[in-house]
Amino acid sequence: MNTMLRKSVLGIAGLAFTGGLFAGPVAAHADTTPVAGKPAPVAAVRADKPDMSKVLPHGTPSNQSTIELNDEQTANVKAIIAATKKAGMDERAAVVSIATALQESKLENLGHLGDRNDHDSQGLFQQRPSSGWGTVEQITDPEYSTLAFLKALKQVDGWQDMPLTEAAQTVQVSAYPDHYAQWEQQAADLVIEHWTS
């Protein structure tokens, strides 16, 4: 990986966080009109499943890969979606995040792999403490690592309109920039399945 490029992206993103860096969850949608004699209802989060055109705005990609997920990987998908909502970002941001984690770690929260490690890369997104992503404890926390990824993604001008692999590569600065694209369909399917769960 190109350390200078990664450092510039991290510098732009200003990844010196101390936790709680994003506003609360996305706005709730519900009728909160009080009824006589009853307390006002509590606003509920929208329960609509995402539309395929929102998660795959460029259409169905070709040359896709897929893997079967175990319980841990599914829990990590749900953690990424929860963090995306916490960051106030939409379903497309969750697709980019999940596709990136599928490529980087197959949605496994990896610790240090010794000789098989890419420098000091760890966690779902294979972020590096030495590049400013956070401590080992932070980047192996699914919520923290997702919020770090999303904070950097927000700094990419026009990421919402880019092909997924270009948006992911701008943040990750991978030696294999085109590999993120192969996970777009599975990431979209996972977001549709788990967005409201």
Burial bucket for residue 62 (CB in 10 Å: 0-12, 13-18, 19+):
exposed
Neighbours of 81 (CB within 10 A): 24
Q: How far is CA 169 from CA 18, 59, 147, 149, 160, in A?
A: 25, 20, 17, 11, 14
- Residue 118 confidence (pLDDT): 54
44 close to 27: Cβ distance less than 8 angstroms: no
The predicted structure's pLDDT at residue 167 = 96
CA–CA distance, 26 with 99 (Å, rounded to integer):
22
Q: Could you tell me the pTM of the whole model?
A: 0.74
Cα-only R_g, the chain: 18
Output the tens digit of pLDDT for each of the chain's 197 residues: 444 444 444 444 444 333 333 333 333 333 444 445 554 444 344 457 888 888 999 998 899 999 999 999 999 999 999 999 999 999 999 999 999 999 999 999 987 555 545 567 789 999 988 788 889 889 999 999 999 999 999 999 999 999 999 999 999 988 877 899 999 999 999 999 999 98
Question: d(Cα 190, Cα 68) in Å, to the nearest integer?
Answer: 11
Give the pLDDT score at 151.
Answer: 96
Per residue in 86-109, is it b (16+ CB within 10 Å) or e — as a string? bbebbbbbbbbbbbbbbbbbebeb
